[in-house]
Structure 1
Amino acid sequence: MKNVGLILFGSFLVGVAYNFFLIPHEILSSGLSGVAIMFGLITPLNTGVVNLLLNLPLLVIGLMKLGKRFISYTILSVLAISFSLYAIPIIKVSTEPILSAVFGGVITGAGIGLIFRASGSSGGFDILAMLLTKKKDFPIGTILTAMNAVVVLASGFIFSWDAALNTMITIYATGKVIDMIHTNHVKLTVMIITSKGEEVKEKLLSNLYRGITVMNGEGAYTGEGRAVLVTVITRYQLTDVKKMIHEVDPQAFVNVTQTVEVVGSFHRAS
């Protein structure tokens, strides 16, 4: 219930940021939501409806390809954001575009950061990038940057280059606030030593979108065989991971260390 509450509140903040600060000044956000804002401005369709329609095929594919818990929370987030965009009236709170870009970006970052802390995402490019990295060895950060660059260029050509520059300010502010709230950039290496290796592996793979390496071990004192599972997660996923391990094997030994650097695709299965 706590995660659901965070997702609903974070989605409401995103709706407020878009309809009070960004949309009135033709400023786009990052990701697929920025594309939804663009179509909402140039067509009679409501931005919330467009956001839902654009995300729908990605959510269906993600439901089959990505972690069940992650994609379930993401579906809830997309629905809540789309409803907020539809229900909240569009009001120009500030007449200054730059101030609107900054405050809109900060509020958007706060909302998405809360959604990330609840182990979900706001959908859109996040899902698309994760699906692409499962097929090709591309760094997800590079993919997201390239996609957002397309949004900025589209803003410049369709609206104005002032709008494009303000969109860049919004994207920058959003990213900084997200990093402050959910610390997704902090990686942790988790080593699990358990007598129920297959059960723990299946539990993690079905609920966590992360690769897992499994090795065979032996207790030095008892001589009994043990499975050693190693995975790298983000800090905000640690609580869920510990809970899942405890549900399967309360006696498992778990060692958590902070990871300095991850080389290779962080999201692909091992």
Structure 2
Amino acid sequence: MASIIVAASYNLFLLPHSILSSGVTGISMIIGLKTPLNTGVVNYVLNLPLLIIGFMKLGQSFMFRTIFSVTVTSIAMVYLPLYQLSPDPIISTVFGGVIGGIGAGIIFRYGASTGGFDIIGFLITRKKDLPLGNLIFAMNAVVVAVSGFLFNWDIALKTMVAIFVMGKVVDTIHTNHLKLTLMIITNEDETLKQAIISKYVRGITIVDGEGAYTKEKRKVLFMIISRYELAGIKKLIKDTDPKAFVNITETVDVMGYFRRG
């Protein structure tokens, strides 16, 4: 469904105004607008080399989902009509970026990608702790430049806006690069520790604590997680020790070993 949402953002908002998307899809759009070839078919053909590289570098499970995503998006682009949903190019630019970003963000969140530059972005973010959307935006300057020379600079600027909006929406949904520090004060430290370790590959530091007023002895668990893991860990804590006190703060940076995937 997310792949169809991405295709709809292209065919209903961007392509009718000759506004491009990012990466390989943007290149496919240029070819589709300048030749009789269908953009969806071109998109799939251009993605094949990167899909093969990704299959070798990113693992079979990730790439099977990515291949499925690219295939569904390309097929949807073939069969969805090119229809100008809004005559206003600015509205189409913003809404195309938002809707495309929602679809792409959902795809990323479920462990796949939309192919193209996204595969390169995933390869880099697994080694470097960078926001995926901003990284993809940085790699798309060439697409914007080409659109300016082949069409006009007004379209190029709208393309830049669409790519920027899409990148920001992706970062809002795909939040693995954001880190949080959890301080958990609990009487069920051993049970909670085992529950977390059995489900998440995260280190936990345990120290002794004492209430200043009650003088009650408790254990304090410290751990760092990705933003994406927060909902699951909060539920796990609530199920294990409903009386646990949890303080959650955003972490600026992490030094030393931290599993990023």
Assess same fold via TM > 0.5. Answer: yes
2:252 pairs with 1:261 = yes
2:44 pairs with 1:49 = no
CA contact (8 A) 2:131 2:171 kept: no
- Cα gap change, 1:154 to 1:116, in 2 (>3 Å): same
CA contact (8 A) 1:36 1:50 kept: yes
- Tell me by how many angstroms 1:60 deviates: 1.0
- Cα gap change, 1:151 to 1:133, in 2 (>3 Å): same
Corresponding residue for residue 87 of structure 1: 79
Give, as a single letter, the amino acid of the residue that structure 2 aligns with 1:106: V
Where do 5+ consecutive residues of structure 1 fail to align? Answer: 1-7, 205-211, 215-229, 242-256
2:31 pairs with 1:39 = yes
Corresponding residue for residue 122 of structure 1: 114
Give, as a single letter, the amino acid of the residue that structure 2 aligns with 1:60: I
- Cα gap change, 1:160 to 1:58, in 2 (>3 Å): same
- Tell me by how many angstroms 1:232 deviates: 6.4
2:54 pairs with 1:62 = yes
SS in structure 2 of the partner of residue 63 of structure 1: helix
Where do 5+ consecutive residues of structure 2 fail to align? Answer: 183-192, 204-222, 234-247
- Cα gap change, 1:164 to 1:113, in 2 (>3 Å): same
- Tell me by how many angstroms 1:53 deviates: 1.1
Residues 26-83 of structure 1, C-alpha deviation per residue, up to 9 Å, x if partnerless? 1011232111111111122111111111111111111111133322221111111111
Give, as a single letter, the amino acid of the residue that structure 2 aligns with 1:51: N
- Tell me by how many angstroms 1:130 deviates: 3.6
CA contact (8 A) 1:74 1:120 kept: yes
Two-structure CA RMSD over aligned residues (Å): 4.3
CA contact (8 A) 1:101 1:167 kept: yes
Name the structure, 1 or 2, with higher relative contact order (CA <8 Å, separation 6+): 1
* Larger CA Rg, structure 1 vs 2: 2
2:143 pairs with 1:159 = no
Corresponding residue for residue 175 of structure 1: 167
